[in-house]
Amino acid sequence: MTKRELAARVGLLALGWLAATAGYAPTALRATAVLLSLAGTAHLVSRLLPSGPIERLLGALGFLMITAILGGLALDLLPAGLSTTTWATYFLLVGAAVLAVAHRRRQRASGTLPARRGRLGVPSAAMYLAATVLLGTAIVVAVAGDRGDDVAPVAISVIARRPSQVTVEVAAGVRTEGLALVVLGTQGTAAWRSPAFALQPHQPHHATVPLRPGRWRINLVSAGASPTDAPVRELIVDF
């Protein structure tokens, strides 16, 4: 291992630790730095193994998994437990230990790379590129299909209560047509009505409903609904 490589590996380990412990770093940057640091350790482990490329891959991945599991059990004994800092420090120490062993075995650690099996031709490279594009497209299509909260239903809920009132929240992931209002009691015999409001996606509407002792129904109704129409949603509170 040359001094330059040693310095680069030390720098990578330090970068991984810094990225993990710097909470303000953007996730993409943080994840890239930490994963690169772990990959660097795995690569170094693979170079320490006196066997072929398949066995090296197996050894490196197995080493990472085993040291993480057994290390996690040890970290659990610390008061801080399995926190970001303890994990980052643990990976730094493991990486440094592997680096020290590799450095001590300067000659042996260099290992042998698998024999080159001919250059990758243009047709093969094009096909691998196509495969990469297909996989990328698969991920984009998959995430696009999983819309989750964008289609969340209209919901009404009690989110706070005080001696003479409750606060209800009306939320939805989709735009609803027309206006709605919160009504205490039924539409025909309402004890209280909120002003009409338009329901916007991901912008919950809050209404404070005044209450007297008793069992009350708080309804979400369409602004244009007739007194006999069923409410869109309904809460029941015992006050």
Partner 1 sequence: MSMTVTTDDTADALDPPVQPRSLAPAAVTVAVAAGVLGHAVLGFLARDQGTGGTVLYWLGLLAIYGPVAWRVLAPRTGSLERAGLLLLLGEALLLTRVVLYPTAFVHHDELAHQALLNTITDDHHLFGATSILPVIAAYPGMEIVTTAIHSTTGLPAHLSGVLVLIVARAILMVAMYRIAGMLTGNDRVAGLAVLIYAANPQFLFFNSQFSYQSVALPLALLTVYLAAQARDQRGYGRTGLAIAAGAAVVVTHHLTGLALVAVLAMWWLLARAPWCQRVPRLGVTTAGVAAVLAGWTLAFGRELLPYLSAAARRSWLSLSDMVQGDSSRALFADPAGNPTPLWERTVALATVIIFCLGLALAALTIRSWAPKRSAAAVVAVAVGMAYPFIPAGHLTVATAEVTDRSSGFVYAGLGVVLACWLLSRRPFIEPVAIPERAALTAVLCLVFAGGVILGSGPGWLRTPGPYLVSAENRSVDTDNLTSARWIGGHLPPGGRVLTDRVNGLLVDVYGRQHPINNLADDVDMAALSKLLLLGPRPDDATVAKANHVDFLVADRRLSSSLPHVGVYIENGEVGSPGRTTPPPAAALIKFDDAPGAERVYDNGTIRIYDLRGLS
Interacting positions 45-104 with partner 1 (CB under 8 A):
51-55, 57-58, 61-62, 64-66, 68-73, 76, 80-84, 87-88, 91
User: From the list 118, 195, 213, 214, which residue makes contact with partner 1 (rule: CB under 8 A)?
Assistant: 118
Query: What is the closest distance, in whole angstroms, from the C-beta atom of residue 205 to partner 1 in the complex?
Result: 15
CB closer to partner 1 out of 6 and 167: 167
Closest CA to 21 of 85, 78, 73: 85
Query: What is the closest distance, in whole angstroms, from the C-beta atom of residue 15 to partner 1 in the complex?
Result: 12
Three-state DSSP class for 152? coil
User: Which 198-217 residues touch partner 1, going by CB under 8 A?
Assistant: 215
User: Which 23-42 residues touch partner 1, going by CB under 8 A?
Assistant: 25, 27, 30-31, 34-35
Tell me: does residue 105 bind partner 1 (CB under 8 A): no
CB closer to partner 1 out of 154 and 191: 154
Burial profile 28-44: b = 16 or more Cβ within 10 angstroms, e = fewer? eebeebbeebbebbbeb
Which among 5-13, 134-142, 183-191, 194-202 is the span making contact with partner 1, rule CB under 8 A? 134-142
Query: What is the closest distance, in whole angstroms, from the C-beta atom of residue 2 to partner 1 in the complex?
Result: 26
User: Which 149-188 residues touch partner 1, going by CB under 8 A?
Assistant: 149, 151-159, 173
Q: What is the 3-state secondary structure (H, E, C) of 39-55?
A: HHHHHHHHHHCCCCHHH
Burial profile 173-187: b = 16 or more Cβ within 10 angstroms, e = fewer? eeeeeeebbbbbebb
CB closer to partner 1 out of 143 and 223: 143
